Amino acid sequence: MVGHVHPPDHPGEPIDQAVFLFFRAPHSYTGEDTVELTTHGSPLVMKALLEACLAADARLADPGEFTRRAFLNGRMDLSQAEAVASLIHARTDEARRVMYNQVAGSMGNAVVRLRETLLHAKVVLESAIDFPEDVEEADLAVLSGLLTSGARMTGTLLATAGRGIAMRNGISVVIAGTPNVGKSSLFNSLLQEDRAIVHAAAGTTRDFIEGYMNIEGVPVVIVDTAGVRMGADGVEVEGVLRARKMMERADLLLVVLDSSRELGRGDASLLREAEGATRIIVANKVDLPSIAEGLPEGTIRVSALTREGLDDLKQGIFNTCFGGKTTPLMDGAVVTSVRQTAALRGVQEGCRSALESLTDNAGLECVAVGVDEALMHLGNLTGAVTTEDVLDEIFSRFCVGK
């Protein structure tokens, strides 16, 4: 229906012409009776429309409230609800495809198959417990096969977690090094734009600078930091302190060395400092005569100036973070959150515990405990078994209203 929107206190002053769409429950996003208004895209029109709705006793939706209502009304499971926020914030095409498939139910479909397997195991198990005199070796073999299948299916899903979570959250890669090794030049070269100031004077970069890039479909935040050195003073000291904090929080460190000069005490100190971290050693300035000796094994040689070796560095970043696995994820279910990972690990542990009890002849009641544990964690994954605190945490991450 097409009409005009009027504020309740000034009915003779229309705000705008609008299209009114009515969705009768349960055929709406939330599963409730819903009216949608489509107006022209003016910020002033939208402001006046919101004020009119509020004056008519409507209220602003809480973050994620529409999706939360859809979940509570059975329009989607919890994995789909999580994926809505991830789809909205997706920063790469592959992440968008993966998250769309999650919204469309790829994780839910995988969980249904897993649940059917575990319920089949439970039926076989309860029958064996209720009628022990009829239990045959073939029945126990079927039970073992179902539990093994459940553990294997769970393992397949968990194998997607590293890259799936990275697609949702991104990974943080911090460039660290002593002054004048070419950190800012490398930063600019990786981003293919001049974001950081490059100068021969030591201490040019006083604060960290962030940039975004896409590696194999994973959003990567590259951080350029101040050169770490002794003797810094004033503002530069604060820059060095921030650099060290960024290094501590990074998913991956790129420790940059200058291959055109001998390694100094600062380089050696930084290498020792980074030993416990996930890191890649980068020898920059390979376009100049190489002087540096004793570079660590596995060092990737690049030139930020000529871009030589940058493809190797990008591949090294991906391999270090994900073991070099490049299997496409968009065609199946993908684990995209720590919550999902924890739930699936609980399912896997339940299956393994049940299998162990079955193999050790610990009694069918002990096997049943493991199966029930697996089913409980599976319920946590889909939201069939959950708490208000968990829901509050998930939906608080949404933007207002979604």
Strand locations in 118-194, DSSP E? 171-177
**Cβ atoms within 10 A of the Cβ of 336, count?**
27
Mean pLDDT of 144-159: 95
Residue 252's nearest CA partner among 288, 298, 221 is 221
- The pLDDT tens digits for 297-308 are 899 999 999 999
Pick the residue with more confidence: 344 or 105?
344
Strand pairing partners for 21?
A: 36
The CATH superfamily label for domain 79-160+337-395 reads tRNA modification GTPase MnmE domain 2 (1.20.120.430)
Q: Extract the tokens encoding 222.
A: 């590259």
pLDDT at 132: 78
Cα 402 from Cα 65, distance rounded (Å): 6
Burial (CB < 10 A; 0-12, 13-18, 19+), residue 298, is exposed
pLDDT of res. 198: 46
Average pLDDT for 78-97: 90
Using 50, 70 and 90 to split pLDDT, how confident is the model at 314?
very high
Q: Under a CB-based contact definition with an 8 Å cutoff, are residues 117 and 150 in contact?
A: yes
Residue 206 pairs in a beta bridge with: none
Confidence of residue 180 (pLDDT cuts 50, 70, 90): confident
17: Cα separation from own chain's centroid: 41
* CA 370 to the chain's CA centroid: 29
- Predicted pLDDT of residue 32: 96
Could you give the residue ranges of the DSSP H alpha helices within 250-337?
Answer: 265-273, 310-322
- pLDDT band at residue 21 using 50, 70 and 90 as cut-offs: very high
pLDDT at 217: 86
Report how far residue 45's alpha carbon sits from residue 49's, in angstroms, rounded to the nearest whole number. Answer: 6
pLDDT above 90 for 241: no
- Residue with the bigger pLDDT between 151 and 361: it is 151
- Name the band, by pLDDT with cuts 50, 70 and 90, for residue 326: low
Q: Out of 126-135, 167-176, 244-253, 337-346, which region has the weakest mean confidence (pLDDT)?
A: 126-135
Tens-place pLDDT, residues 339-389? 999 999 999 999 999 999 999 989 899 999 999 999 999 998 888 766 676
Asked whether residue 152 carries a pLDDT value surpassing 60, the answer given is: yes
pLDDT band at 89 (very low <50, low <70, confident <90, very high): confident
- pLDDT exceeds cutoff 60 at 394: yes
**Given a cut of 50, is residue 134 above it in pLDDT?**
yes
Q: What tokens appear for 87 in the block?
A: 């789809």
Residues 394-398 have a mean pLDDT of: 74
Q: Given this model, what pLDDT does residue 205 score? A: 47
Quick check: 325 pLDDT over 70? no
Pick the CATH number of 2-60 from 3.50.50.60, 3.30.1360.120, 3.30.70.1170, 3.40.30.10: 3.30.1360.120
Q: State residue 199's pLDDT score.
A: 42
pLDDT attached to residue 197: 47
pLDDT at 201: 44
Give kind and range of the element (H or E) at residue 210: strand 209-215
**Residue 357: its pLDDT value, please?**
95
For residue range 58-83, list pLDDT tens digits in order: 999 988 899 999 999 999 988 899 99
CB 301 within 8 A of CB 332: no
Q: How sure is the predictor about 216, in pLDDT bands with cuts at 50, 70 and 90?
A: confident
pLDDT at site 196: 52
Residue 276 confidence (pLDDT) above 70: yes
Which residue type sits at 195? R
> In the chain, what are the domain boundaries?
2-60, 79-160+337-395, 167-322
- CA-nearest of 84, 32, 42, 87 to 63 is 84
Q: Which of 212, 248, 211, 210 is nearest to 228 (CA)?
A: 248
This prediction's pTM? 0.77
pLDDT at 385: 67
pLDDT exceeds 60 at position 234: no
Contact yes or no for 278/252 (Cβ under 8 A)? yes
Give the per-residue pLDDT at 401. 61
Q: What is the pLDDT of residue 8?
A: 87
Report how far Cα 309 is from the mean position of its chain's Cα atoms: 28
* 227 pLDDT more than 70: no
Q: Which residues pair with 16 in a beta bridge?
A: 5
Q: Which numeric CATH code is attached to 167-322? A: 3.40.50.300
Residue 370 has what pLDDT? 96
Which two structure tokens, joined as six digits, stand for 250?
Answer: 């990074």
- Encode 343-364: b = buried (16+ Cβ within 10 Å), e = exposed: bbebbbbbbbbbbebbeeeeeb
Q: 279 and 255 in contact (C-beta within 8 Å)?
A: yes
pLDDT score for 36: 93
Of the two residues 329 and 376, the one the predictor is more confident about is: 376
The predicted model gives 297-324 an average pLDDT of 92
Residue partners of 219: CB distance under 8 A and separation at least 6: 91, 92, 95, 166, 167, 170, 171, 212
